Amino acid sequence: MNRTVALWLAVGWLGYAILPWYAIEDGFWIFEWLLDGYPLDSDYAPGILQAFVDDKIWLAPISLFLLLPLGLFGRAKNDPLFANLLLISGVGGLAYVGLQGFSIGISGWEYATLEALFGALGQRQFGLGYGALLTCAAFLFFLTQGIAARGAINGDVFVVGSIGLVIALVGIFILFPVIQILLSALKDEAGLYAPNVFLSKLFDKKIWGLGCLGSNVSCGAAWNSLFLAVTVGAGTTTLGLAFALVVTRTGFRAKKLLRALTVLPIITPPFVIGLAIILLFGRSGSVTQFASDLFDIPAGRWIYGFPGVWFAQMLAFTPIAFLVLIGVVEGVSPSMEEAAQTLRANRWKTFTSISLPLMRPGLANAFLLGFIESMADFGNPLVLGGNFDVLSTEIFFAIVGAQNDQGRAAVLAIVLLGFTLSAFYAQRRWLGKKSYTTVTGKGDSGTHPYLPKRLSWLVYGTAVPWALLTIVIYAMIVFGGFVETWGRDHSLTLRHYISAFSVSSGEDGLLWTGSAWNSFGTTMVIAGVSAPLTAAIGLVTAYLLVRQRFAGKNAFEFGTMLSFAIPGTVIGVSYVLAFNIPPIELTGTGVILVICFIFRNMPVGVRAGIASMSQLDKSLDEASLTLGATSFMTVRKVILPLLRPAIVAALVYSFVRAITAISAVIFLVSANYDMATSYIIGRVENNDYGLAIAYSSVLILVMLAAISLVQLAVGERRIRRRSETGDGAMPTAGSTAA
Amino acid sequence: MSIASKAASVTFDAVTKAFGPVVAVDQVSFRVGAGSLVTLLGPSGCGKTTTLRMIAGLEMATEGRILIGDQDVTSLPATDRDVSMVFQSYALFPHMTVIENVSYGLRVSGLPKSAASEQAHDGLALVGLKGYGDRLPSELSGGQQQRVAVARALVLEPQVLLFDEPLSNLDAKLRRRVREEIRDIQQNLGLTSVYVTHDQEEALAVSDRIIVMNNARIAQEGSPRELYEEPADLFVADFIGDANLVDAEILSVEDAVASVLIGDLELSLPSRGLSKGPARVAIRPQAISLSESATGGGMQGIVRKSSYLGSHIEYTIETAIGELFVIDGRVAQAIAQDSDVSVELSQQGVTLVRSTESAL
C-alpha cells in the first residue's frame, strides 16, 4: 500500500479508536480526561466505544469507511479500483460524519421529520472533538488521494491534498458561517422560516430612513455607512496620493519619516485614534478647552458623530491608501514618462496625460480599500459615533444590547456584506478589464521626473500638515497614559500603568496583580498560535494560485479572498450563529479566536505569498521537479527558503493584526478568553480613558518591538529598481515561450 | 570518470498539446535515437519548447503517446521520469552553493550525502568547474552558471538530457565555446539529448539531426546538410540559412533533372519531384556571383545597398526577378552603390522548393 494512504489510515483510526470523539468542555490539552474515566466515560470515549458504552450506534458505520482503504493492499496506483476505493471511503466517510453530526444534536434529533421517522432518541451528542477531527482529516485526504490517483494535476498527491484542505477550511470557516447568517436572517424568533419578517426587517426605517435630508431625524444606518465610506474612501485616496507623490517625486527631505508614519496604523488598535481625538476635541479635550478659554467658543460635543468618525477613519486609513499608491506611483515606468518628455510634453502635461492615467487602477484600488475598511470599521464609530448609527455598530448592539435580536443582526450583516461585496466585485471587474501593467520584469532604468512646481506645493500643503497632525495624535496617546484625568487633572502619574500591569511578590513568588495581565497573556498566546498557522495556510494557498493550474481556480481564489471583503462584525456574528451548536461547537473557547484570526488574516498571507512567489522564476520549481524531487520536496527545499521574507512578513502581520483586531473578536471573547482590545473597549465604555490609553500604548510598544526585531533579523526589504544589479541570484521571469 | 550514460530513445507518437482552444503542438511524431543529439528548431511560438516540456513531463500531452526507451511515460509526471533539463534561465537555486545545486537531484533521490557530494564533484570536474563547489551561483559568471546547470543535469545520469535554449543568455563568443563543450560532453558520454533553439546556426553546429517546427507541426526533419541543401519547403529554405525566394519556370524534366528558367538564366537543377510549369527556387546568398560591367552572360542588376561587414560584403541587388540579397567574400573588390552589375548563379546553392501556405 501507498505510504501516504497508510499514514492517513493510521491517523483516521487514531481519531476513531483512541482519541475522545467529542469536544471536551474543560479543554483537551490539560489532559484531565485521561484520569477521569477515559476511555469508558461517555463524555470522553473514542468514537468506536461510544457505539457500545453509550448506545450511539450511529457512530459504528464510520468504521466501515475506515476499513475500506485496507482493500488497497497489493494494488497498483493506476488500478482503477485504487482510486475508486479511496473516493468511496473519503466521500462516504465525510458525508456520513457530517450527516450524523447535523441530524443529531444536543437534544436528540435535530429535525422533526427524522424524529417522526425513527422515534424519539434518548442520546444526545455534543460538538465534535479532536477524535472526530482526525477522522475527518483522514477521510478528506483519502478523497484527495483518490482524485489524484485518477490523474488530476498529474497525480500530484501533495498538490491535490493542499487544494482539498484549503477548500475544506474555507468552506467550513468562511462559507458555512456566511450561509448560516443568511439562513438565520430568514427565521423569526421561534426559529421558523418567515420571509415576511425578513423583508420587514430588511426595509426597516432604521436602516434605510432618509429623515436627515428633510427634517432633523437621523438617517438610516445603511445610508450613514455608505456616505461615510464614500467620503472616507475619497479622502484617504487623495491624501494617500499626495503622500506618495511627495515621497517619490519631490526633493522632500523627511521622506523616511513619512514612510515610518505609515507603519503606525498597522500597530494601532483601531479605536485608539478615536480615543486620542476625544482627548483633543472632546468636551474636555485640550483643543476644545484651549479654544473656549481663548475665543470663548462654548465647549460642545460636535466631535461625536459623523465629523469625529470621519476624522478618525481618515487618520487610520490614509496610510493604507499610501501603501497601495506608493507601489503604483513607483510602478509607473520612468521610461514612459521620459518618452513623453522627449516628445516635448512639459512636466505638467507629462503628469496629467501619462503618469496620472497610469495610476488609475491604483487609485481605484485605494478608494475601494478605504471604502471597505470604513464600512467594516467598528472601533471608531463605537467610540466616537454618538447618534450617528452605522451598520457595524448597529450589528453589535443588535446582539449584545437590550434588543438581543439575532435576526436583526443577521439582516444588518447582510446589508453590510452586500455593500462590501459589491465594492469588492466592482474592484475586480474594474481591474480585471484593463491592463496598465508597466512593470515588465526587465530592468527599467531612468528616474521619475519631479512634479510641476504648483502641484508640488499643493501636495506639500496637504501632506505635511496631515503628517504633523498624526504625530500630535500619537504623542497624545503616549502622554494620555501618564496623566491623572485628561482634561481635568493633568498631574503626571503612573497610576494607570500600575493598575493595569502591577506585579507584586507574594508567598508563591510573583503575583500578576494588574488587571490587564489576564487579557494580555491570552492575547499574546492566541496571536502567537494563530500567526504561524495564518502564514502557513496563506502561503500554501499562494503556492496553489501562482504555481498550479486546476479547474475552478478562479472560484478558488475568490473563496480565499472572500474573507477580506467580509467585515469583522459580520464574521463575528456569523461565527456565533454557526459554531454555537454541534456538530462544530466552538464558542467560548480559545480555538474559535485562533480560527477567526486565521481566516480574517489569511488574505494578507496569500497576497504576500503571491507577490513574492511571482518573483521566483517558475523554472526553479521545474528544475527541481526534473531533478526528481516531488512537489512537496520542491516546496520545502526550494520555494520556502527563497520565500523567507514573505513568510516573516506574513507572520508579523498576522501577529499584529491578531493583537489589534476588535470587530470580530468582541463577539467571540469569553470570561476565560478575553482579548486585550475587548478589555480596553470595556474600560472606554466605563470612561476609564487613562487605563485604556496606557494599555494601548503598551500594546503599540510590544508590536513595535516585534516588528523591529523581525526587521533586524531579516534586513530591510529592498526596492525594485535599486536591487536589480544584474546578478544571477534571482533570475526573474520573462523567458521567451517558444 | 564515474558519470556514465543510460541513454534511451525518445518517441513521440501523434502527440497533441492544446492549451484551451490553442493548439501548441499538433499531431507531432518523431523519434530521437539513443545517444544522438536532436535539435528542435523554429521561430518563437512554433511549439518547440512545449514539445521539450512534454518530454520532461512538465506539460502533459492532450493526445498521443510519449515513450522513453520502451516505457510509456505519457501520464508520468516530471518527478517520475528519468529525464533532466537545462533551463534557459539556468534555474540554479540561488540559496544553495554550487555543490548543493549539483548534488540536489542525487540527494532528493535518496543518495547519502557523501556519495552525492562525490558524484557532484565529478560532475563539476566534467564541466571544468573543479574547486568552485563552495561558491554561490551569484558569484559565478553567466558561462559558469550555465555549466553548473549542465553539471546538475548530468550527474543524475538521465536517460534523456534536455536543453531549453541554453545559450540565449550568453554573449556571442561564449555561446560558440559553450555549445562546443556541450557537444563534446554529449558525444563523449553518448547521451541522448534534445536541444531547443531558435538560432539556426547553433542548430546546424551541434545537431546530429534537426527537427524544424512551424505552426505547431514538424516542417522538416533531417541532418543539418539535408535541411540546408534540400529544404522541403519555402519556410525551411528561408529559416535555415538565408535564401532569396524567387519565381521560376520549369521548362522540362528529364531523369529527375529539371531545366529551370530563372529570369533570363537557365539552370539544370534536381527536379525533386516537381513537374513542368511555374515553380519557386531558393537561392542562397553565397550562390550568387556579381561582376561589375555588363560583361558575361548574366542577368542585369543594379546595386541598391552594400554593407561592409569585415569578412564579407552584403549587397542588395535589384534585378528583373526581384531584389536579391547577396553575400560576397571578395572584400577587396567592393562594388560601389548604384553600379550596374551582371548576376550569375552557381548550381550549388539553388534549389527548387515546393511552395506551402506557410511560405513567407
A207-217, pLDDT tens digit by residue? 777 767 766 66
Residue A19 has pLDDT above 80, yes or no: yes
How far is the alpha carbon of A616 from chain B, nearest alpha carbon, in Å? 10
Residue A11 in any domain: the answer is yes
- What is the Cα–Cα distance from A644 to A709, expressed in whole angstroms? 15
Mode of pairing for the β-strands spanning B37-41 and B193-197: parallel
Does the beta carbon of B56 lie under 8 angstroms from any beta carbon of chain A? yes
- What is the Cα–Cα distance from B64 to B12, expressed in whole angstroms? 8
State pTM to two decimals. Answer: 0.80
Residue A395 and residue A539 share a domain: no
Residue A164 in any domain: the answer is no
A737 or B152: which leads in pLDDT: B152
List of chain B residues whose C-beta atoms are within 8 Å of the C-beta of residue A629: 79, 104-105, 108
Residue A232 in any domain: the answer is yes
Q: Taking a C-beta distance cutoff of 8 angstroms, is the pair A646, A608 a contact? A: yes
Residue A1, pLDDT score:
62
Return residues 112-151 of B near A (CB < 8 Å).
Answer: 136-138, 140, 142, 145, 149
Q: Taking a C-beta distance cutoff of 8 angstroms, is the pair A424, A565 a contact? A: yes
B31-84 tens-digit pLDDT: 999 999 999 999 988 999 999 999 998 888 999 999 999 999 988 888 888 999
- Chains A and B form CB pairs within 8 A to the count of 116
Quote the DSSP letter at residue B96.
S
Encoded amino acid at B336, one letter: A
Residue A167 in any domain: the answer is no
- H-run or E-run covering B9: none
Residue A721, pLDDT score:
33
Cβ pair A151:B75 closer than 8 A:
yes
What angle, 0 to 180 degrees and rounded to 10, lies between the N-to-C axes of helices A689-714 and A676-685? 150
Confidence category of residue B18, pLDDT binned at 50, 70, 90? very high
Confidence category of residue B359, pLDDT binned at 50, 70, 90? very low
Q: How many residues does chain A have?
A: 738
Domain of A706, CATH number, reads 1.10.3720.10
Cβ pair A617:B48 closer than 8 A:
no
Confidence category of residue B357, pLDDT binned at 50, 70, 90? very low
Asked which of A440, A473, A492 is the last residue of a domain, the reply is: A440
List of chain A residues whose C-beta atoms are within 8 Å of the C-beta of residue B170: none
Residue A706 in any domain: the answer is yes
List of chain B residues whose C-beta atoms are within 8 Å of the C-beta of residue A619: 87-89, 91
- What is the Cα–Cα distance from A553 to A152, expressed in whole angstroms? 14
For B91, the closest of A623, A641, A727 (CB atoms) is A623
- Mutate which of A150, A154, A626 to test chain B, going by most B C-beta atoms within 10 A? A626
Residue A111 has pLDDT above 90, yes or no: no
Total domains present in chain A? 3
How far is the alpha carbon of B166 from chain A, nearest alpha carbon, in Å? 11
Confidence category of residue A33, pLDDT binned at 50, 70, 90? confident
- What is the Cα–Cα distance from B358 to B360, expressed in whole angstroms? 6
Return residues 65-84 of B near A (CB < 8 Å).
Answer: 75, 77-79, 81, 83-84
How far is the alpha carbon of B191 from chain A, nearest alpha carbon, in Å? 16
Residue A584 in any domain: the answer is yes
Residues 6+ apart with CB under 8 A from A672: A588, A590
Residue A258 in any domain: the answer is yes
Query: What is the 3 state secondary structure string of A50-84?
Result: HHHHCCCHHHCCHHHHHHHHHHHCCCCCCCHHHHH
Cβ pair B196:A736 closer than 8 A:
no
**Sign (positive/negative) of CA torsion A174, A176, A177, A179?**
positive
Q: C-alpha dihedral over A364, A356, A263, A532, to 10 degrees?
A: 50
How far is the alpha carbon of B18 from chain A, nearest alpha carbon, in Å? 14
User: Mean pLDDT over all residues of chain A?
Assistant: 81
The residue-averaged pLDDT of A685-695 equals 86
Residue A265, pLDDT score:
72
In our burial notation (b when 16+ CB lie closer than 10 A, e otherwise), range B175-195 reads beebbebbbebbeebebbbbb
- What is the Cα–Cα distance from B25 to A389, expressed in whole angstroms? 62
Asked which of A440, A472, A505 is the last residue of a domain, the reply is: A440
Residue A718 has pLDDT above 60, yes or no: no
- What is the Cα–Cα distance from B12 to A728, expressed in whole angstroms? 35
A39-77 tens-digit pLDDT: 778 778 888 888 887 778 888 888 889 988 888 877 777
Residue B296 has pLDDT above 70, yes or no: no
Residue A549 and residue A430 share a domain: no
Residue A732, pLDDT score:
33
A250-307 tens-digit pLDDT: 777 777 777 777 777 778 887 788 888 888 888 777 787 788 888 777 767 788 889 8
**If you compute the radius of gyration of chain B from its CA atoms, what whole number of angstroms results?**
24
How far is the alpha carbon of A74 from chain B, nearest alpha carbon, in Å? 20
Phi, psi at B31, each rounded to 5°: -135, 130
Residue A657 and residue A528 share a domain: yes
List of chain A residues whose C-beta atoms are within 8 Å of the C-beta of residue B93: 620, 623-624, 638, 642
Nearest CA in chain A to B198: A738
Q: What percent of chain B has pLDDT over 70?
A: 96
Cβ pair A729:B47 closer than 8 A:
no
3-state secondary structure of A183: helix
Cβ pair A738:B198 closer than 8 A:
yes
Which residues span the domain enclosing A387?
Answer: 220-268+312-440
- Measuring CA to CA, which residue among B242, B311, B310, B249 is closest to residue B278? B249
Nearest CA in chain B to A628: B79
Residue A103 and residue A228 share a domain: no
Q: Taking a C-beta distance cutoff of 8 angstroms, is the pair A477, A275 a contact? A: yes
For chain B, which domains are there?
Answer: 10-229 (3.40.50.300), 234-353 (2.40.50.140)
- Measuring CA to CA, which residue among A205, A170, A204, A172 is closest to residue A185? A204
A315-324 tens-digit pLDDT: 888 888 887 7
Residue A714, pLDDT score:
59
Q: Taking a C-beta distance cutoff of 8 angstroms, is the pair B244, B217 a contact? A: no
Residue A370 has pLDDT above 60, yes or no: yes
- What is the Cα–Cα distance from B214 to B111, expressed in whole angstroms? 42
Quote the DSSP letter at residue A732.
P
Residue B23, pLDDT score:
93
Residue A419 in any domain: the answer is yes
Winning range, highest mean pLDDT, from A26-35, A335-344, A544-553 = A544-553
- Measuring CA to CA, which residue among A697, A143, A556, A201 is closest to residue A413? A201
Does the beta carbon of B18 lie under 8 angstroms from any beta carbon of chain A? no
How far is the alpha carbon of A646 from chain B, nearest alpha carbon, in Å? 15
How far is the alpha carbon of A626 from chain B, nearest alpha carbon, in Å? 5
Confidence category of residue A438, pLDDT binned at 50, 70, 90? very low
ipTM over 0.85 threshold: no
Asked which of A114, A131, A150 is the last residue of a domain, the reply is: A150
Residue A345 and residue A230 share a domain: yes
List of chain B residues whose C-beta atoms are within 8 Å of the C-beta of residue A728: 90, 92, 94, 137-138, 140, 142, 145
Which cell goes with B186? Answer: 554529449
Mode of pairing for the β-strands spanning B37-41 and B209-214: parallel
Burial label, A725 (beta-carbon count in 10 A; 0-12, 13-18, 19+): exposed
List of chain B residues whose C-beta atoms are within 8 Å of the C-beta of residue A737: 44-45, 49
Does the beta carbon of B93 lie under 8 angstroms from any beta carbon of chain A? yes
Residue B225 has pLDDT above 60, yes or no: yes
